[in-house]
Structure 1
Amino acid sequence: MARQGHYPAMSRQIENILTLSARLAEHEGITHWGVSRRLSGKGDLLDRLEKGGDLRTRTAEHMLERLSALWPDDLEWPASIPRPAPVPPRHRRWRDDWIFRILR
């Protein structure tokens, strides 16, 4: 299923998360379930977003930060999507630290 492109009636942040997730999944040769698990610990989160689900602003920001941190060096970040600045480890939430250690 193609997951890139415009997602109508969604916030720009969610549209960016879905677009980036689709590119990462394709590049890594994994399913969107795998990307969803890396981002949130929940395999179905991206599906819920595609079906109209929503996120709190800070949760969406954290997901974009995680995508940026997990983004492979050999894959170009889309120019149309602002890339978050790296988050120093001391500013991450504790939950982020364990997910980075396990899934990196």
Structure 2
Amino acid sequence: MSTEAIIRIAETFARHLGLTLSTVSTYAANDGKWLSGLKTGSSCTLRKAAVVTCWFSENWPADLEWPRDVPRPAIQKKEKAA
């Protein structure tokens, strides 16, 4: 997934819930500056992009349509501890 797509998803999510991008960044990436860094040209690893994108997919509001031109990752089922 491109950085532009991640930023678009994040901004859509933030706008819909009335949150700042830094708050969404804290929730999704555990770093309040991560998304703003991405927006200003910082790079990220494929692993971090996948983790953040999965977070958005798992926490996406039911009343908000996922952007049609952005592939949505499948929600991972969490295994219960034995």
Fold agreement, TM-score > 0.5: yes
Candidates 3, 14, 20, aligned match of 2:9: 20
What runs of 5+ residues in structure 2 fail to find an aligned partner? none
Counterpart of 1:27 in structure 2: which amino acid? H
Q: Residue 48 of structure 2: SS of its match in structure 1? A: helix
Query: How far apart, in 1, do the equivalents of 2:71 and 2:22 lie?
Result: 24
Matching residue within 22, 25, 45 for 1:36: 25
- SS of aligned partner of 1:25: helix
Q: TM-score, normalised by structure 1?
A: 0.72
Mapped to 2, the partners of 1:26 and 1:83 lie a distance apart of 19
Give the corresponding residue for 2:69.
Answer: 80
How many pairs align?
79
The two structures, once aligned, show a CA RMSD in angstroms of 0.9
Amino acid at match of 1:84: P
Provide the C-alpha distance between the structure 2 equivalents of 1:68 and 1:59, rounded to a whole number of angstroms. Answer: 14
1:13 deviates by 2.2
- Measured in 2, the distance between the counterparts of 1:13 and 1:38 equals 20
Q: Which has the higher contact order (CA 8 A, sep 6+)?
A: 2
Partner AA of 2:52 in structure 1: M
Map 1:30-69; keep pairs closer than 5 Å.
30-69=19-58
Identity over aligned pairs, percent: 33
Q: Which amino acid aligns with 1:39?
A: A
TM-score by length of 2: 0.91
Structure 1: give runs of 5+ residues left out of the alignment.
1-11, 91-104
